[in-house]
């Protein structure tokens, strides 16, 4: 009835309403309010309605900290990522965020600036200090596994894009397969001298793409040559191209990602070479821009968003004790555009 009159005088500092304030307004005990909040059974609909009305009236919001304290559940998923500004990680993280929020979890993201072990470890340490309930790693560096062991991470975790290693904790695009598709495509076009510009050696996915490339080449009995170790950037592709094209002892290039492919095409243009007339190029990722490169890039599409969603499903499933969740690799897809052609 009287919702204001008989309350104690307003304190100076306005305090956010708590569960007891709601209870008082609704004329029930705080426990009943708690029950409504956690929609537990055995509440009379009429009572629940009154509580909900009180909640609205007061603009009450449950205090997450108090809840976390008593349940000792932070409802937080930690994300350890390398450069979150890159297309792949950024896309995955966005999907992770949405899937997590859907499931009532929030994210704690941390960027590791370098691939130094100490950097990984301190990033991981930070996440542990946030009491994350699960961990998703998008920093596909080999040393992450070490760090996870060293810190005795006891929560469910999954690493993205880390082909082949430690499969029970991995979820990945089948990079080996993707690389084979790209390489096979070039071979089928008649190319026999194929160059690979790889990502940094300590990225597992770079390693996997290199393996796929080498295996496909081996299966076709073609000469393999040492891949160039790049850094994923367009600039690297460009300078590598300027260097490599001085010899021109190859007619096709498989680049570890679209950006390096772009840089390489830039170098071709500058050296007066036609793509795909003189050199065929394949990238990986299918970033949205690659369809508009000059020429539009043949590339291996990866579904980063799907990977992110599945990662969340996986760790939350494990958290709920569900077993036997699917770790099947996500299949990449070859997108043929105009940067590849039959060997002249």
- Contact residues toward DNA (CB under 7 A) are 15-16, 18-20, 28-32, 34-35, 37-38, 41-44, 47, 60-63, 66-67, 69-72
SS3 109: strand
Interface with a copy of itself in residues 198-257 (CB under 8 A): 233-235, 237-238
Within 10 angstroms of residue 223's Cβ, the number of other Cβ atoms is 9
| Interaction of residue 107 with a copy of itself, rule CB under 8 A | yes
Read off the DSSP letter of residue 200.
Answer: -
Work out which of 3, 29, 40, 64 binds a copy of itself, going by CB under 8 A.
64
Who's near 139: CB < 8 A, 6+ residues apart?
A: 80, 81, 82, 112, 115, 120, 123
Tell me the CA end-to-end span of the chain in Å, nearest whole number.
88
* Residue with Cβ nearer a copy of itself (151 or 165): 151
Of 47, 49, 55, the C-alpha closest to 18 is 55
User: What are phi and psi for residue 111, nearest 5 degrees?
Assistant: -95, 135
Query: How many residues bind a copy of itself, per CB under 8 A?
Result: 51
Residues 6+ apart with CB under 8 A from 293: 258, 261, 262, 265, 339
Site string for a copy of itself, 111-130 (x = CB under 8 A): x-x------------x-xxx
Using CB distances below 5 to 8 A depending on partner kind, what does residue 103 bind out of DNA, a copy of itself, none? none
Compute the distance between CA of residue 294 and CA of residue 188 in angstroms, rounded to an integer.
Answer: 23
Q: How far apart are CA 141 and CA 89, in angstroms?
A: 13
Q: Which is nearer to DNA, 8 or 324 (CB)?
A: 8
Our finding on whether 103 is near a copy of itself (CB under 8 A) is: no
HEC profile of 256-324: CCHHHHHHHHHHHHHCCCCCCCCCEEEEEECCHHHHHCCCCCEEEECCHHHHHHHHHHHHHHHHCCCCC
- Shortest distance, position 129 Cβ to DNA, whole Å: 11
Q: Which does 19 bind (CB under 5 to 8 A by kind): a copy of itself, DNA, none?
A: DNA
Q: Name the residue nearer to DNA (CB basis): 63 or 167.
A: 63
The verdict on 310 binding a copy of itself (CB under 8 A) reads no
293 binds a copy of itself (CB under 8 A): yes
Site residues, a copy of itself (CB under 8 A): 61-66, 68-69, 74, 83-87, 90-91, 93-94, 97-98, 101, 106-111, 113, 126, 128-131, 233-235, 237-238, 259, 262-263, 265-266, 269, 288-289, 291-294, 296
């Amino acid at each position: 009835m009287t919702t204001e009159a008989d309350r104690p005088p307003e304190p100076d500092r306005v305090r956010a309403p708590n569960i007891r304030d709601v209870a008082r307004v609704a004329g029930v005990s705080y426990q009943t309010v708690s029950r409504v909040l956690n929609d537990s059974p055995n509440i009379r609909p009429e009572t629940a309605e009154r509580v909900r009305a009180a909640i609205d009236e007061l603009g009450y919001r449950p205090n997450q900290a108090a809840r976390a304290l008593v349940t000792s559940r932070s409802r937080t998923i930690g994300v350890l990522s390398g450069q979150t500004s890159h297309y792949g990680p950024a896309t995955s993280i966005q999907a992770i965020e949405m899937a997590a929020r859907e499931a009532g979890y929030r994210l704690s993201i941390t960027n590791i600036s370098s691939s130094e072990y100490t950097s990984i470890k301190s990033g991981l340490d930070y996440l542990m200090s946030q009491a994350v309930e699960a961990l998703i790693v998008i920093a596909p560096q080999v040393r992450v596994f070490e760090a996870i062991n060293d810190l005795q991470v006891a929560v469910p975790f999954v690493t993205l894009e880390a082909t082949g290693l430690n499969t029970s904790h991995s979820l990945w695009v089948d990079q080996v397969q993707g690389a084979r598709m790209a390489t096979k495509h070039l071979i089928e076009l008649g190319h026999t001298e194929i160059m690979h510009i790889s990502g940094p050696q300590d990225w597992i996915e770079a390693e996997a793409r290199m393996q796929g490339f080498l295996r496909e080449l081996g299966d076709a009995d073609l000469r393999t040559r040492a891949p160039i170790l790049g850094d994923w950037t367009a600039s690297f592709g460009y300078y590598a191209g300027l260097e490599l094209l001085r010899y021109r002892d190859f007619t096709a290039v498989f680049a570890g990602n679209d950006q390096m492919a772009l840089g390489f095409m830039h170098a071709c243009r500058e050296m007066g070479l036609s793509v795909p007339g003189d050199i065929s190029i394949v990238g990986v990722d299918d970033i949205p821009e690659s369809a508009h490169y000059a020429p539009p890039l043949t590339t291996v599409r990866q579904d980063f968003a799907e990977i992110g969603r599945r990662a969340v499903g996986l760790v939350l499933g494990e958290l709920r004790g569900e077993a036997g969740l699917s770790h099947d690799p996500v299949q990449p897809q070859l997108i043929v555009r105009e940067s590849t052609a039959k060997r002249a």
